[in-house]
Structure 1
């Protein structure tokens, strides 16, 4: 998936085997969904060598979730831009959410699984700092989780350049956002919604305000901030 993962667990009942299985799961997801591997399921689908109905169950699940995200966001999130197939915008959050749930089932009382800066939390207390996109080394906001499930996902060009495009134009989004963070229960939705909302540009705030149980925090290109609370 082209990123770094870190896992922090709490609890005396979760052992090394559960951590090894979480790592193996993330490696498996990379092998199946990487657009950089010629033999991955995603690459084979894109070349027309593999039909969706013939895919492994996890691939069919991701296809279904991508379609759900496309419908929910009115097409602002899509895995089919320019006629290709690239579910990367959903896969990382989904894989992290699944791995965190598995660790919880294995006996962990608290889980913090970070995938490239997007985080799935269980238990608590946890504190997650959101990097300021315009002030390197500074924090723009802090998200606190005391119990239950909570996910934090940020979209923007700060670290990797502009890798998000407006699916309707194929160009970088316009609207003056330097970063957009979405906080929700699960990282699958938080990540796809952050991506879609960032692509919306000026329409992001109104769309996020219409979503249930969502908190969001944005930094504009000129350093101003706005937030959305449930």
Structure 2
């Protein structure tokens, strides 16, 4: 997905920062007043530090991350960050509400299943990082993590009408990546897309016990990136019961199929 900004009045200042975290580019965009201030720089630094801290806990690529040490039995759950227990609880909740289409028990190299919450960690981290930006007066912000994003603004900015800062988010055509199949105008909220067109068969289907690769994509919008991302994955791999669960049990979230 891509984003750009429009306003109903003369544009405010704009600034962007980019760092590499969790194996992907993460960009933070600010628009509004005093975005070159020390407070803005500290907020952006704290947001990026959130990605670093969560990666130290949950990375599946760093052998000494807490997750990998937990898997090897070198530490117990009580010796890990409280975030690990939160991830366990979020995974159980997600599995229940999606009717089993989302899981944090994923295939390991030896043919078994291991605890792997990375399917929810990215969105969760973006939501946590956003808390540092939301306190900047007169500022609207966007965090883009590998194409999934969360936008918002300080409470003193309007969400619609005169003075609102709108982020126009394009939804990529999975069959032709130079083309858009739709666009969303957001002043607040999250957008997550799930599919296999970019990374191949990396999504696990619990019902069949296999990694799947099929055409198309699912984009979910809603208040948080944690749950937008969970639902995007679940709806892409899930069956009719998951679609029914979304229709009745995900207020504030909407889906676009491509």
- TM-score for both structures, normalised by structure 2: 0.77
Say if 2:252 is the partner of 1:213.
yes
Report the number of matched residues.
Answer: 216
Say if 2:159 is the partner of 1:134.
no
Higher relative contact order (CA 8 A, sep 6+): 2
1:8 aligned partner = 29
Equivalent residues in 2 for 1:98-137, closer than 5 Å: 98-107=128-137, 109-123=139-153, 124-137=165-178
Between structure 1 and structure 2, the one with the greater Rg is: 2
2:64 aligned partner = 39
Q: Distance in 1 between matches of 2:32 and 2:83?
A: 29
Contact 1:34 1:43 in 2 (8 A): yes
Q: Distance in 2 between matches of 1:107 and 1:64?
A: 34
Q: Of Structure 1 and Structure 2, which has the larger fraction of its residues in helix?
A: 1
2:3 aligned partner = none
Structure 2 gap ranges (5+): 1-21, 107-111, 154-164
Q: Distance in 2 between matches of 1:107 and 1:167?
A: 44
Question: Paired residue for 2:234, among 193, 196, 203?
Answer: 196
Give secondary structure in 1 for the equivalent of 2:177. coil
Equivalent residues in 2 for 1:50-61, closer than 5 Å: 50-61=75-86
Over aligned residues, Cα RMSD in angstroms? Answer: 1.9
Give secondary structure in 1 for the equivalent of 2:197. coil
Equivalent residues in 2 for 1:50-199, closer than 5 Å: 50-81=75-106, 82-107=112-137, 109-123=139-153, 124-146=165-187, 149-173=188-212, 177-199=215-237
Q: Distance in 2 between matches of 1:37 and 1:173?
A: 26
- Residue 70 of structure 1, CA deviation: 1.5
- Residue 137 of structure 1, CA deviation: 0.7
1:224 aligned partner = none
Contact 2:197 2:215 in 1 (8 A): no
- Residue 88 of structure 1, CA deviation: 0.6
Contact 2:192 2:232 in 1 (8 A): yes
Q: Distance in 2 between matches of 1:45 and 1:98?
A: 23
1:223 aligned partner = none
